[in-house]
Amino acid sequence: MEITDVRAVPLSDSVPEEKRHRTDLGTKVKTDATLVLVETDTEHTGIGAALGHLPTIESIVEGSLASALVGENPTCTGRLWEKLYNGSRPSRRWSGATPSPGVTAGGTRSRRSRAWTPRSGSSPERRSASRSTGSWGRSGTTPGATPAADGRRSTGPPRSSGGYVGKGFDAVKVRAVGREEFSVENTLERVEAAREAIGDDVDLMVDVHGSFDVPTAIKLARRLEEYDVSWFEEPVSADDHPGLAEVRSASEIPIAAGESEFTRFDFRSLFDHGAIDVAQPDVARCGGITECRRIAAMASARNVKLAPYAWGNGVPFAASIHLAMSVPNYHVLEVGQAYMPLLTDLFEEDLGTREGRVHAPDRPGLGFTLREDFEERFDYVEGPEYEF
């Protein structure tokens, strides 16, 4: 088998006005994605994903990376990964734009095999967590929110987390900050509402998107302990590995981070600093399944759990299912509950999330088939994903 072409496909899906909500990132008006199709001299086509500014990604993939892959055997994932990595030194942060051989190989391997290998006696299902996407802001800015009596803050989204438990999820993650009112008290109020909604028997994870400095994050972490929080995600900037370690050492709550990191070398810094208890590699950012498995092995050697981060479209999520099935220290896989057709409607098949569990497909490759009209259905729309 030989690679004949590599093509980047920018996609967008606009968020209807009634489904838009405000977060600490702004008001989301659309979701963007870049799929990378690796064509071969057989009937098989690899499917990958890339992150970043879509026109720029398209230029990098088709203008630089494609020439390094055409003529190669797509199943030689480890060697191709190193070829792309070592050939991109002038622009080192390559992995968000790469076709990710470790992902695309899932589609170009022999159709007689899966991207994951079932173990004897193992079950092809793993635990997943619902991700609450409600934002903290002025009352009425989030669909479904319940205005507070004082007209200022809304606790509707955390309270709606209880509905996820009814769907079979035994873990729920809450985004506990918004673009305004970054404070310990407001965050705690939101966490308290979520804990009340889901009960005491469901794991509660709290994400603050690196919104606090170290002293404030430590203060918040200590007060979160009374709510039996399963992990505290990005309490400080994701770039501040020593700061993450400082927060971790000051509290009993496990610290999670990693969705913003590139390659195993960034994760090595997290591990060496003793900064995290849960690693969250993004398969589309850190270099595909190939690199994620390396990260998982490094994490396992340090007793760090793995919770793959897959957000925005179906290709990284599908790849993350295979990653979850193939590593021993898998912990949980988040399942977004927001309006995201690029995640839920990109494939002909259902993504396999049932009763709080993700189920591996029994079909070969990534195990999912792109809809024939996906390029027309998700035609690229220029402009930013968020408005401020």
Query: The CATH number of the domain where 294 resides is what?
Result: 3.20.20.120
Q: What per-residue confidence (pLDDT) applies to 277? A: 98
* Better-scored residue on pLDDT, 358 or 41: 41
Is the pLDDT score of 274 beyond 80? yes
Contact at 8 Å (CB) between 20 and 137? no
What tens digit of pLDDT does each residue of 48-58 get? 998 888 888 99
- Domain of 90 in residue numbering reads as 3-115+374-382
- Judgement on whether residues 200 and 70 belong to the same structural domain of the protein: no
145 in any annotated domain? yes
Higher-confidence residue: 243 or 27? 243
What pLDDT, on a 0 to 100 scale, did the predictor assign at position 155? 42
Residues 77 and 99 in one domain: yes
From 36-45, 272-281, 302-311, 332-341, the region with the lowest mean pLDDT: 332-341
The predicted pLDDT at position 184 comes to 87
Q: How many folded domains does the chain comprise? A: 2
Please tell me whether residues 131 and 91 are part of one structural domain.
no
108 has a pLDDT exceeding 60: no
Q: How much is the pLDDT for 180?
A: 56
What letter represents residue 268's amino acid?
R
Q: What is the CATH number of the domain that holds 83?
A: 3.30.390.10
Same domain, 170 and 284: yes
Please name the residue that has the structure tokens 């890339």.
50
In this structure, the answer to whether residues 89 and 129 fall within a common structural domain is: no
The 10s digit of each residue's pLDDT in 181-203 is 668 888 899 899 999 999 999 99
CB 176, CB 131: distance < 8 Å: no
Helix, coil or strand: residue 363 = coil
333-387 pLDDT per residue, tens: 988 777 889 999 999 998 878 877 888 888 888 889 999 999 999 999 999 999 9
Q: Do 95 and 151 lie in a common domain?
A: no
Residues 140 and 247 in one domain: yes
Please count the other Cβ atoms lying within 10 Å of the Cβ belonging to residue 313: 25
Strands 30-40 and 3-14: antiparallel
Q: pLDDT band for 124, please (50, 70, 90 cuts).
A: low
The verdict on residue 181 lying in a domain is yes
User: 379: closest CA among 336, 350, 335, 341?
Assistant: 341
Are 214 and 152 contained in the same domain? yes
42 and 146, same domain (yes or no): no
26-28 and 203-207: which strand pairing? Answer: unpaired
**Same structural domain, 318 and 256:** yes
Q: With beta carbons less than 8 A apart as the criterion, state whether 99 and 67 touch.
A: no
Mean pLDDT over each residue of the chain, to the nearest integer: 82
Q: 53 versus 238: which is more confidently predicted?
A: 238
Tokens of 374: 């996906």
Domain contains 364: no
The pairing of strands 353-354 and 333-336 is unpaired
